[in-house]
Amino acid sequence: MHPSLTLRVLIEEEEAGLRGLAHGRRAEVRLRDRARICWLAHRGRRVAEIAAEVGVCRATVRTWIARFNAAGLDGPREAGRSGRPPTYTAAEVGAGVAANLTKPDELGQPFGSWTLDRLAAYLRVEKGIAIKRSRIGEIPQAEGLRWHRQEAWFGRRPEPAFAEKRGPSSPSPRPRPMGAS
């Protein structure tokens, strides 16, 4: 059985701040629930009662009370998390997105549309950014953009006199008579 866990004595500023977080509508739900846990503990409620009222397990109630006791009003807030640093900087990602949104011929490239290989080569040679081909496809998607293929046959014909040179279209074949079944 766990020993009884109580919230430490609050100073006036902490009490007002905790009340505002616990009963406010502007804070995000997670923060409001954590502050509510601490507020109920401040009001003398037991861990089991708080867990039942807020809808969390007892260990969660103990965690947030202990964090509040240690850090005060900063206890219920999100703590910074460690993790792998981003592989590419925001400037490198921005250069990739900007190049992707620009037509290649405007950047002095000898082709009319980007492919993943062409964009990877351009960024590596021209910008000095070594982004993997597989990652280039993910970056626009993460930015809310869609990678699309440009179809060569769609749109304006490269030859202005194409219809005259092509000649008339051949007629469709006549339907065959149905045989007896």
Each residue's pLDDT tens digit, 83-112: 888 888 889 988 988 998 889 989 999 988
Each residue's pLDDT tens digit, 4-42: 678 888 888 888 999 998 888 888 889 999 999 999 999
Number of C-alpha atoms within 13 angstroms, CB side, residue 25? 0
pTM score: 0.47
pLDDT at 50 over 90: yes
Domain that holds residue 55: 12-74
* The pLDDT of residue 63: 93
CA distances from 63 to 68, 69, 75 (A): 9, 10, 10
> Do residue 68 and residue 121 come from a single domain?
no
CA distances from 147 to 49, 90, 108, 116, 119 (A): 52, 19, 21, 10, 12
Among the ranges given (8-12, 13-17, 55-59, 148-152), the one the predictor scored with the smallest mean pLDDT = 148-152
Q: What residues contact 97, with CB distance under 8 A and at least 6 apart?
A: 139, 140, 143, 145
- CA 32 – CA 20 distance, rounded (Å): 9
25: its two tokens? 């509508």
CB 100 within 8 A of CB 145: yes
Q: Angle between the 58-71 and 47-54 helix axes, to the nearest 10 degrees?
A: 110
* The pLDDT of residue 49: 94
* The pLDDT of residue 150: 52
Among the ranges given (18-22, 36-40, 75-79, 151-155), the one the predictor scored with the smallest mean pLDDT = 151-155
Mean pLDDT of the 63-87 span: 86
The verdict on residue 80 lying in a domain is no
- How many distinct structural domains can be found in the chain? 2
- CA 88 – CA 101 distance, rounded (Å): 19
The verdict on residue 81 lying in a domain is no
> Do residue 95 and residue 70 come from a single domain?
no
CA distances from 4 to 46, 64, 100 (A): 8, 14, 59
* The pLDDT of residue 128: 93
The verdict on residue 128 lying in a domain is yes
The verdict on residue 129 lying in a domain is yes
For the chain, percent of residues with pLDDT exceeding 70: 88
Mean pLDDT of the chain: 84
For the chain, percent of residues with pLDDT exceeding 90: 29
We report the CATH number of the domain holding residue 46 as 1.10.10
